[in-house]
Structure 1
């Protein structure tokens, strides 16, 4: 599963502004989403779901099932996403902020047996991936989101539930212009990197 916002100017990647305009930030968000969905499509799984806030655009390719996000805070939306797949485990949830993700990494997050979870910490204190052998929405509800301790609280939830946690590598989320530069340098063959380079060539940055 990928949880994401439709790449609409002014609604996505707002922390890239004012270094980038809202339109440029939306272009980068779209590129990151396309890269993420491409990695998902290349991963051998039985179901691929985009849990979307907004309307699909021409960036969406076949093979991806789209379901709307529910209302409420991010913890409620993540819990709802896992609830869509109860009984279908293992399930791996990622966001649209890590265009450097690869099918190999996603596959590792799905190699789960009963009683196991996968956890991918982000360098900002959050997490970029959460895999559950048996999807349980209660593991997400009430976790404080978008704060420095988000990842630590979510990881502790997994431990307290008695799950064996498989650690995935730390990845950098694209939140700021510096994040964008570093991620593009790390994954130069992505659409995200080419979009960032195109903005630089046109004099945007």
Structure 2
């Protein structure tokens, strides 16, 4: 972004320019930016470069450029891509990994078997990325899979909807203080997507393959409105299925007890401390035990259920022969 274009942008756009430029310098790969160029952009936008780097909400170390990955045949991820290849809009990154028996859906695996649980995990990922692609027909959304570890890109693509991009989100590199565990991958994904030039960035789990597409479209619409805000999709188990941001607020990922029933409440509290507008979507359920799998199976057997059709998950359940053995949710009172 050259100085004349930055100078002609509004305050919120200038802030995004500086945020993107600083994060790209700190964490990016081949982006054609230099310290001098970013310092000039920061000056145009009314910021002092080094003080911006050390701003408490960013808590970034001074810039460190990474080397380009030139391994023959290796799939290049966004973290190593040029900013010129990215289109503005709402990026939705599905948190995913290659399904492995004993590594994927371990709570379910203890009951239905590790290989069956891994097969379901792959089906969930395919349906979730297909759902994002469907939402992109109605809103300016770009779909990603935020994955780890590096080196599994080609295999992972077989579980992704066509047109979905990859984002390495292994939590490596400098992180703000207190951003630990799974929070490193979540914050890193949001930070890198915003740094790449997207107007907003969301992290989405793949544990609820029937999530209504309208929830994703609504998320993008809320984030496209003027002003800073977060969008939270609470899960019924106390976590969240999606979190969308317009700026990389590290506080929302700091000192969180991940994979517990207090994640959503802790995120609400962090947003309140920041004075950040937090808009909530309707709750939805994750599928991570036999009871919720039975609920999912019953929903997919209902031709008028309100969620995404989830064809890959439906086919996987049929192939595994699980539907007849799963508990059914209690009938609703009339």
* Fold match (TM-score > 0.5): yes
1:59 alignment partner, one of 131, 152, 159: 159
Q: Give structure 1 stretches of 5+ with no counterpart.
A: none
Q: Work out the CA distance in 2 between the residues paired with 1:201 and 1:160.
A: 45
Greater fraction of residues in strand: 1
* Higher mean displacement: 43-52 or 152-161: 43-52
Deviation, 1:18, is 2.4
Q: Work out the CA distance in 1 between the residues paired with 2:255 and 2:208.
A: 24
Q: Work out the CA distance in 2 between the residues paired with 1:29 and 1:201.
A: 14
Q: Number of residues paired by the alignment? A: 205
Greater fraction of residues in helix: 2
Q: Work out the CA distance in 2 between the residues paired with 1:201 and 1:134.
A: 43
Q: Which residue of 1 aligns with 2:124?
A: 32
Q: Which residue of 1 aligns with 2:313?
A: 192
Q: Which residue of 1 aligns with 2:37?
A: none
Q: Which protein has greater RCO, CA pairs closer than 8 Å, 6+ apart?
A: 1
Deviation, 1:167, is 1.1
Q: Work out the CA distance in 2 between the residues paired with 1:16 and 1:46.
A: 31
8 A Cα contact 1:79 1:138, kept in partner = no
Q: What is the TM-score when the length of structure 1 is the normalising length?
A: 0.90
CA-atom RMSD in angstroms: 2.1
Deviation, 1:194, is 3.3
Secondary structure, aligned partner of 2:258: coil
Q: Give structure 2 stretches of 5+ with no counterpart.
A: 1-92, 172-179, 302-308, 327-334
Would the alpha carbon gap of residues 159 and 202 (structure 1) be closer, same or farther in structure 2, given more than 3 Å must change?
closer
Secondary structure, aligned partner of 1:172: coil
Deviations along 1:145-190, one digit per CA (max 9) or x if unpaired, are 1112111001111222212221111111111111111123234442
Q: What is the TM-score when the length of structure 2 is the normalising length?
A: 0.57
Q: Which residue of 1 aligns with 2:43?
A: none
Q: Which residue of 2 aligns with 1:105?
A: 215
Within 5 Å, give how 1:66-81 maps onto structure 2: 66-71=166-171, 73-81=181-189
Secondary structure, aligned partner of 2:112: coil
